[in-house]
Amino acid sequence: MWLRCPNCSSHDVGKVGSDQYYCWNCFIEMTVVGNRLNVHEIKVDGSLISLDNLFTDEERTIH
Ligand SMILES: [Zn+2]
């Protein structure tokens, strides 16, 4: 699968888990659920903050 970061449009996205990807450009994590991306920011303490509300459904859909 070839992903583009919905936040910065970078293609510098690496796979870090079975359904998880990480943008090395803006440091957000993406989890693939069906044909949608759930977007998270990883805080310094390791907790995740959902960024889904920053993007439209269209932006989070994998084409
Ligand atoms: Zn990015």
**Cα 24 to middle of ligand 1, angstroms:** 7
Q: Which amino acid is at 50?
A: S
Give residue 29 CA to ligand 1 midpoint distance, Å: 9
Measure 11 CA to ligand 1 centroid, in angstroms: 8
What is the Å distance from ligand 1's center to 13 Cα? 7
Could you report the per-residue pLDDT of 23-63, keeping only the tens digit for each? 999 999 999 999 999 999 989 999 999 999 999 999 999 87
Domain spans in the chain, listed from the N-terminal domain onward: 13-60
- What phi and psi, each to the nearest 5 degrees, are found at residue 14? -110, 150
pLDDT band at 1 (very low <50, low <70, confident <90, very high): low
User: 31 near 19, Cβ under 8 Å?
Assistant: yes
